[in-house]
Structures are given as C-alpha cells and as structure tokens.
Amino acid sequence: MTQKLTIDTGRRKTAYYRLGDPASPTLVLVHGNASSSAFFFPTILKLAEHFDVVAPDLNGFGDTEASPVHAPTALSDWAEDVGALMDALQVPRFALLGWSLGGGVAWRFALDHPQRLTHLILLSPMSPYGFGGTRGAEGTPYDGEGWGSPGGFANPDFIRKLAEKDRGDGPMTAREVLGKSLFAAGWPLDREWQDLFVDELLKVRLGEDYYPGDFRHLPAFPYVLPGARGISNALSPQYADVSAFAAVDPKPPVLWIHGDKDLLVSDRSMSDLATLGLLGLLSGYPGEEAFPPQPMVSQTRAVLEKYRVNGGSFREVLLEGCAHAAHLEAPERFVAEVADFIDG
C-alpha cells in the first residue's frame, strides 16, 4: 500500500498521495465529503500508469492539518489549498478532477485559476448551484438563507457512530453507509479495501466547525436552515454558487462523468429534503409544486451547455449501472475515459 506524504504548503501541512511518473502529465484528484484521498484506491493505481497523480486530503478530512471550516468561503479555501500544494510541488499547470464535494472545489478552482488547468474532470460533481435550496435547471434559490438545503444537518445516529469509531457492519456505521450510498450494488471491493475506507472516514473531524457543521432549527418544514460553520454548510446555495464557470476564460476542456444509479447527486437525490418529503419520509411536505426536488444533474448540464455556447467544450459520459463512486464500480471504463480525454 502506498503511504501518504506530508508537505507544509505555507497554508497548512497537507497530506497527499503521489503516484506515477513525475514526467507524465499531472492529474490532481480531489475527494468528496465524508471521505479522503484514499477513496480513489484502488483505481488510482491504474491512473498512475498514465499520469503523475497527486491526491490530497482536504481540510477536515484524512491526515491533513485541520482548521475550522468557514462555510461561506470554504470552497475557495479548499481550492487555494490545492493551489498551494501544487505550488509546493512545483507543478504550475495540471489536470484537475473533482468528485462530489470535490467537484465543487474543482468548479471553484477553475473559476479562480483557469489558467492553471490543462483539463477539468467532474466526477459526479455537486451542482454548480450548491446542494439543495434551488429549483429548476437555472438554479433559482428559494431565498438568501439557503431554505430547502439540509446544510449542516446529518443523521444523528451516523454522527454518533463516527464519534464512537465504530468499524462494524451494523446500522448507520461507516461501513454500512458507505456501501449503500456510494455503490449501486453494494461494496464492489474486498474487505481489505473496505477497511481502508472505513478507517479513513473515521478520521473526519466532527463538530460544528467541521463535519457536518451547525444548523438552525425551523418550527415548520423542512425544520432546518443551514448555518455558517462546518463542511456540509459549504455546499449550501448561498455560499456554493459556482455557475459563473459558464463564462470563465481561458476555458479548459471539460469531461463530466457520472453514474445513472447515483442516489446522492441526481435530479431526485435521496439526500434532498424535497425528495424525502415527496416520498413521505419527512412530515409536513408542502407538495412538489411548492418545493420540488433539486434537479442537480440537469443544473450541471445546463451550466456546461452555457459553457459550450460561450466557446468552451465538454463531453458527458454516463456510466450505466454505477452510482456515486463510478470510478470504483467501473474502473476500467473510467480510467480509459480519463486517459483518452487528457491524452487526446
């Protein structure tokens, strides 16, 4: 097993993996929420046959030095951490892949530093309008406070199991939640890799300043409003709108890869309060006309279509039978698509 490295970037001590030939094109992998850079294993080993692969742990996750996550600026802060790491490694330009929350970091980095990117790859990315709290393909927000977004709220049983460092198989443990949320047909990896993922998830910093963050109570549906602290609030629409990417210049070519069975980032996400209300799992739902599920995939496609109209290019790859972790469920196809995109 490849060991993580650590480097002081001037912003923080960042933990990261680096695999492959440094003379090859550099590909930076940015992980999602409730995970770490290790969640690219074992597929990262195949990517390293083509690229100089760098995969950091974001602030709040894995083994990177942590500091409180300020939700209104978190996407920019994470993006600056990525840039500082690549400065420390003396890599001025690179291809950037962002998965899930990491997709939001990648959108943000492309907005702030488009000249540094040779290619942009979005793997099941969060919507460019954030997570929850918007409607329609155009991403219209309900209000300026993120109404409709779960923000820093998460299942208390899951948080308790994380705090207890529960490595078992029971309900709401890290192992069970990862198996059900990331994969269409359960874990595609053997127990050794599962153990790695569980151990890495259990490193997440917990609390209002980290995962999941703070939230405000509401007396009526949807019962919560996002707060301003912590990791999950960083995805709230009042902080996470990166739809201006459609007009960014210069314009790196974009590859968008996602699975057709994704239940986390979809047009009816099972983590969307509107979907839970629509299914009768959350009482007091005002109806689909008043509060429809956020069309996350449609919002991404709409922004990328605007990007194309503005002179950019993108290619969409839908991996059938895959859920949120398509890079692990269809690794050969995934690696082939990424290699063809960058080499081509």
Residue 292 has pLDDT above 90, yes or no: yes
CB atoms within 10 A of CB 244: 11
On whether the CB atoms of residues 111 and 247 are closer than 8 A, the answer is: no
51 is written with which tokens? 């690229």
pLDDT for the residue 48: 98
pLDDT (tens digit, 9 = 90+) per residue, 12-47?
A: 999 999 999 999 999 999 999 999 999 999 999 999
Name the residue type at position 332: E
C-alpha neighbours within 13 Å on the C-beta side of residue 189: 25
CA–centroid distance for 81 within its chain: 15
Cβ-Cβ contacts under 8 Å for 173 (sequence gap 6 or more): 161, 166, 167
pLDDT for the residue 286: 97
- Residue 147, classed as helix, strand or coil, is coil
pLDDT (tens digit, 9 = 90+) per residue, 244-265?
A: 999 999 999 999 999 999 999 9
Name the residue type at position 122: L
pLDDT (tens digit, 9 = 90+) per residue, 119-174?
A: 999 999 999 999 999 999 999 999 999 999 999 999 999 999 999 999 999 999 99
220 is written with which tokens? 């009526």
pLDDT for the residue 13: 98
Cβ-Cβ contacts under 8 Å for 156 (sequence gap 6 or more): none
Mean pLDDT of 288-293: 97
Q: What is the CATH number of domain 5-343?
A: 3.40.50.1820
279 is written with which tokens? 């299914």
On whether the CB atoms of residues 102 and 58 are closer than 8 A, the answer is: yes
CA proximity to 250, closest of 129, 121, 123, 116: 116
pLDDT for the residue 344: 81
pLDDT for the residue 190: 95
pLDDT for the residue 258: 98
CA proximity to 257, closest of 312, 299, 316: 316
Buried b (16+ CB within 10 A) or exposed e, 104-121: bbbbbbbbebeebbebbb
Mean pLDDT of 328-339: 98
pLDDT (tens digit, 9 = 90+) per residue, 177-222?
A: 999 999 999 999 999 999 999 999 999 999 999 999 999 999 999 9
Residue 1 has pLDDT above 90, yes or no: no
- Residue 239, classed as helix, strand or coil, is helix
Taking the C-alpha atoms of residue 39 and residue 114, their distance in angstroms, rounded to an integer, is 26
What is the β-pairing status of strands 94-99 and 117-123?
Answer: parallel
On whether the CB atoms of residues 259 and 319 are closer than 8 A, the answer is: yes
CA–centroid distance for 313 within its chain: 22
pLDDT for the residue 2: 87
Residue 224 has pLDDT above 90, yes or no: yes
Taking the C-alpha atoms of residue 5 and residue 42, their distance in angstroms, rounded to an integer, is 17
Backbone angles phi, psi at 73, to 5 degrees: -120, 10
Tell me the residue ranges of DSSP E strands in 166-308.
206-207, 211-212, 215-217, 224-226, 254-259
pLDDT (tens digit, 9 = 90+) per residue, 59-118?
A: 999 999 999 999 999 999 999 999 999 999 999 999 999 999 999 999 999 999 999 999
CA–centroid distance for 212 within its chain: 14
Taking the C-alpha atoms of residue 104 and residue 75, their distance in angstroms, rounded to an integer, is 7
- Structure pTM? 0.98
- Residue 98, classed as helix, strand or coil, is strand
| Percent of the chain at pLDDT exceeding 70 | 100
Q: What is the mean pLDDT of the chain?
A: 97
